[in-house]
Homo-oligomer: A and B are copies of this chain.
């Protein structure tokens, strides 16, 4: 197979980021100063705070990805200033959906930090009322879609896609919570590769990888219909192909995320890992349990999911003893090659560079 060379560099330029960021204040205004809720200014003021604190501040990869893939997928004459702004609005909808999940997840996990600052529920002793703010972040997605896309032919596709991604993410979170219940010891008997893959696919891969590309496909006129586009392939089939490959990439991405959480360099990743202390169902813990002897399993049972530094070190030592760093490197290389081959097999009608661009962003990453 003839594999294209990996491209180097960031997926989004600084200019693109600036453009993306620059529309955020307008969206906050759409959400808090316009429409039928202007008779509750106190609530709107609060909502504005919630948006400013929570929707901004990540790497914004998901949000930026909509515009990036739209540029590659749409015919050049469609890539106008106006359409790029629309793509960015959809990008912000993903960022808001994600902030909804993260605010809620941090409460459930008892996480105190997010993106280098206090998690929202830990700020000003907000506590459990942060849940309602998560709900407001989600509700904002649909208010933005209504304002900016109500007259688009693909408006219903957008609504249904966000609904479906929300359902899938919540089902993934439910699976995660079943094996790692808040305030309890992790249930290692549930830590199988099948369970792990299902969590990752549902909780992360759909909304992080498929969602941005699917949104750009809708904008580019590739709808969820039986319209035949190229060589007998329908638009619906193109979505199915994109979904399959992007979910695969999302799973690859999460395995890396898990690896870096434990073995990454905090000066590069920008964060100190907490997966072991929190008892998360990770790729490392699942592979470790697959390989563990009875004694090693007992170590996992005793120390996994404890925040004491000694316990965390014992688990890391066990991971090394089980050869997980080498296994990971082999996994990374073979998965990356496999995904490249799968991209080649996607039918024409979808620019393969979209997928290669995503993959290049992930492969051999260290942060």
Q: For the complex, is A37 an interface residue (Cβ under 8 Å from B)? A: yes
A136 to B203, CA, bound (A): 13
Does the CB pair A143–B163 fall under 8 Å? yes
CB nearest neighbor in B for A136? B170
Q: For the complex, is A268 an interface residue (Cβ under 8 Å from B)? A: no
Knowing A155-B156, A167-B143, A171-B136 are in contact, say whether A129-B37 is a contact too (CB < 8 A): no
Does the CB pair B202–A104 fall under 8 Å? no
Q: For the complex, is A108 an interface residue (Cβ under 8 Å from B)? A: yes
Q: For the complex, is A318 an interface residue (Cβ under 8 Å from B)? A: no
Partner of A183, one of B127, B173, B202: B127
Knowing A156-B155, A177-B129, A181-B129 are in contact, say whether A170-B135 is a contact too (CB < 8 A): yes
Q: For the complex, is A175 an interface residue (Cβ under 8 Å from B)? A: yes
Partner of A163, one of B139, B167, B177: B139
Does the CB pair B178–A46 fall under 8 Å? yes
Q: What is the CB-to-nearest-CB distance from A93 to chain B, in angstroms, rounded to a whole number?
A: 13
A116 to B298, CA, bound (A): 43
A181 to B127, CA, bound (A): 9
Q: For the complex, is A168 an interface residue (Cβ under 8 Å from B)? A: yes
Contacts of A140 in B (CB 8 A): 167
Interface size, chain A (Cβ < 8 Å): 51
A364 to B68, CA, bound (A): 61
Q: What is the CB-to-nearest-CB distance from A207 to chain B, in angstroms, rounded to a whole number?
A: 12
Q: Tell me the chain A residues, 313-351 only, with Cβ under 8 Å from chain B.
A: none
CB nearest neighbor in B for A133? B174
A132 to B154, CA, bound (A): 29
A43 to B190, CA, bound (A): 13
Q: Tell me the chain A residues, 84-139 only, with Cβ under 8 Å from chain B.
A: 104, 107-108, 125-129, 131-133, 135-136, 139
A264 to B146, CA, bound (A): 43
Q: For the complex, is A198 an interface residue (Cβ under 8 Å from B)? A: yes
Does the CB pair A174–B47 fall under 8 Å? yes
Q: Tell me the chain A residues, 270-320 only, with Cβ under 8 Å from chain B.
A: none
Task: Flag A173-209 by CB within 8 Å of B: 1 or 0 each.
Answer: 1110110011110000000000100100010000000
Q: For the complex, is A39 an interface residue (Cβ under 8 Å from B)? A: yes
A136 to B39, CA, bound (A): 30
CB nearest neighbor in B for A135? B170
Contacts of A128 in B (CB 8 A): 107-108, 182-183
Which of A37, A127, A163, A195 has the most chain B CB within a 10 Å cutoff?
A163
Does the CB pair A174–B43 fall under 8 Å? yes
Q: For the complex, is A2 an interface residue (Cβ under 8 Å from B)? A: no
Q: For the complex, is A233 an interface residue (Cβ under 8 Å from B)? A: no
Q: Which residues of A contact B (CB under 8 A)?
A: 36-37, 39-40, 42-44, 46-47, 104, 107-108, 125-129, 131-133, 135-136, 139-140, 142-143, 146, 155-156, 159-160, 163-164, 166-168, 170-175, 177-178, 181-184, 195, 198, 202
